[in-house]
Structure 1
């Protein structure tokens, strides 16, 4: 009988572990919706407002807890400009001295009243070349050879984002480059951190954002990427893997503490 109960406990333990793993994303960055970030960027009237929207729970874009403290990380927005190109960096502090970039929105002006935009997830958190952009399609009727009837063809289009309020804001005369004034331990009054939810729940909440913003294989905003590259911040304590990012901390006594997104930890 004892052996039977031991066997049942082992099976239940394995089932629980499997269920927990299924509630974790394949890549840690998937707990931050790039599509959702672009939805909010399209809605915002300024970069300050964009940062506020990113850090509101009801917008359902951020589910990151990179430092494993059991609450959502505050997302900062910083703009780096060179001529008519902007690299808008989304990042978070993991501690007083450690900062990790999450994604960068690259915007390049392509004409007097045209601009293109992409957001790219940081390589520490996302799969390689995780790039998202607004998408539209051009429908046309194609003639078939022989007796077959005509058919509809959908051709993807690069979306002109010039009329987005946030884009017009950063290209207006007299624009002062926005840098988030907030730091580790110093946050705006509106900030109310919340507890992360399971990835399954978060992924479902983000579904509406994926209708108008799609992942693409090609980087179009190459100048913005060049501007951003020397500015990139990544934490020396983040160890990336497919089933979660481990945050490694060194205590004053020389002890290493490893925290996972579940909030658990172990010392060595």
Structure 2
């Protein structure tokens, strides 16, 4: 059992690694060299640094992993060193990738300049070979960076990194580059969201480009002269336009997906609508059947009440304390038995009608009308049979009353005679 579990685990790991490799290759096809260093993250780190030495440390710290560049192809992220050139109030900070011994490639520059009103402007400019022409971000910091104070001091000395190929600081350890999609997810954590990063097309300082040309290095451009951004992406000018094009393509793909999804879902929606219509039709027909049956039941209940009233009429005539004859009682019992039989017949006919009720609304309505006519005829026949019996009872009730009246003088005479005898005895 353990061996089977181990084999299953090994197979799962193999398939997982194959899936990861295939995913990596897919993202590599859709990526660009400029995707491996986000200049907004560079600007954010610049505003949080105390000085340029601290800034270089943050760029290469494995904890932040700001860079994902591997220009020399040794499967390790290149070390980024920082050098500076100063002229009057203009500071040009150059970020260079260390590719080999005495081989460097400029990645980006940071132009820092203070005007006559002591207002400092900062622009992060991407290298033309990597990012295209005029790819510039101008950060607006929520809090004034501390690094500004280190630039304009007496006896200021421009910063120049002392590190080079195979000579790196102790805090630095090279790591393998990530896939582009994973780097994008990781780098968003390093960007300070309280700041604003405005994209612009031109430089504010006219001195900065001239100063940069004196310290420019392009070792990677010499190794691959036909691999510039303009040749990699002939339809756009710089990285910003490339991002806009990607966003437009994503939106178009989403719209196409939504249209295809709606087009495939239309037949099913029509079927559902037709089924809902059938359901409503059946429901209306069932409600109609229910209403017709309810009307029939109300008519039956009225007929039952009338029959009960017919039964109760002889009782009203016999409320006085007169002796009853046997014939009216027998007639009333026959009426009760007949009414019970009629009720049982009605219940049987109601159950038969209910069992024989058709499913469709068109068949149920004629059957209900027939049942209603039959019940009406039965009730009329019952009422006709009950009327002669009532007339006979009424005709017999006067006789009884007359007989009772005729018997009253006899009782009075008897009582008088008894009274007379009693009186004679007493006297």
Summarize deviations over 1:131-163 as a string: whole Å, max 9, x none. 11114xxxxxxxxxxxxxxxxxxxxxxx698x3
- Of 162, 165, 173, which residue of structure 1 is paired with 2:154? 173
Rounded Cα–Cα distance in structure 2 between residues aligned with 1:210 and 1:27: 24
Rounded Cα–Cα distance in structure 1 between residues aligned with 2:84 and 2:106: 13
Residue 26 of structure 1: how far off its partner (Å)? 4.3
Q: Classify the secondary structure of the residue corresponding to 1:75.
A: strand
Q: Is the counterpart of residue 72 in structure 1 residue 43 in structure 2?
A: no
Instruction: Report if aligned partners of 2:132, 2:230 keep a CA contact under 8 Å in 1.
Output: no
Runs of 4+ off more than 3 Å:
16-19, 23-27, 241-245
Partner of 1:3: none
Q: Is the counterpart of residue 46 in structure 1 residue 46 in structure 2?
A: no
- Cα pair distance change 1:184/1:203, threshold 3 Å: same
Summarize deviations over 1:110-140 as a string: whole Å, max 9, x none. 13531101011111111221111114xxxxx
Aligned Cα root-mean-square deviation (Å): 2.7
Instruction: Report if aligned partners of 1:114, 1:160 keep a CA contact under 8 Å in 2.
Output: no
- Of 230, 238, 241, which residue of structure 1 is paired with 2:214? 230
1:99-248 alignment, distance < 5 Å: 99-135=104-140, 163-208=144-189, 209=191, 211=193, 212-235=196-219, 236-239=222-225, 240-241=227-228
Rounded Cα–Cα distance in structure 2 between residues aligned with 1:243 and 1:225: 20
Structure of greater Rg: 2
- Cα pair distance change 1:49/1:190, threshold 3 Å: same
Residue 206 of structure 1: how far off its partner (Å)? 2.4
Stretch of structure 1 that moved more, 93-102 or 72-81? 93-102
TM-score by length of 2: 0.45
Instruction: Report if aligned partners of 1:131, 1:217 keep a CA contact under 8 Å in 2.
Output: yes
Residue 189 of structure 1: how far off its partner (Å)? 1.1
Runs of 5+ in structure 2 lacking a partner?
Answer: 1-17, 233-427
Instruction: Report if aligned partners of 2:94, 2:108 keep a CA contact under 8 Å in 1.
Output: yes
Residue 225 of structure 1: how far off its partner (Å)? 1.8
Instruction: Report if aligned partners of 2:31, 2:180 keep a CA contact under 8 Å in 1.
Output: no
Rounded Cα–Cα distance in structure 1 between residues aligned with 2:174 and 2:135: 27
Rounded Cα–Cα distance in structure 2 between residues aligned with 1:186 and 1:28: 25
Residue 218 of structure 1: how far off its partner (Å)? 2.5
Residue 164 of structure 1: how far off its partner (Å)? 1.5
Instruction: Report if aligned partners of 1:106, 1:119 keep a CA contact under 8 Å in 2.
Output: yes
Partner of 1:62: 67
Tell me which of the two structures has the higher relative contact order, counting C-alpha pairs closer than 8 angstroms and 6 or more residues apart: 1
- Cα pair distance change 1:129/1:55, threshold 3 Å: same
Residue 184 of structure 1: how far off its partner (Å)? 1.0
Rounded Cα–Cα distance in structure 1 between residues aligned with 2:28 and 2:62: 19
Residue 58 of structure 1: how far off its partner (Å)? 2.3
Instruction: Report if aligned partners of 2:129, 2:229 keep a CA contact under 8 Å in 1.
Output: no
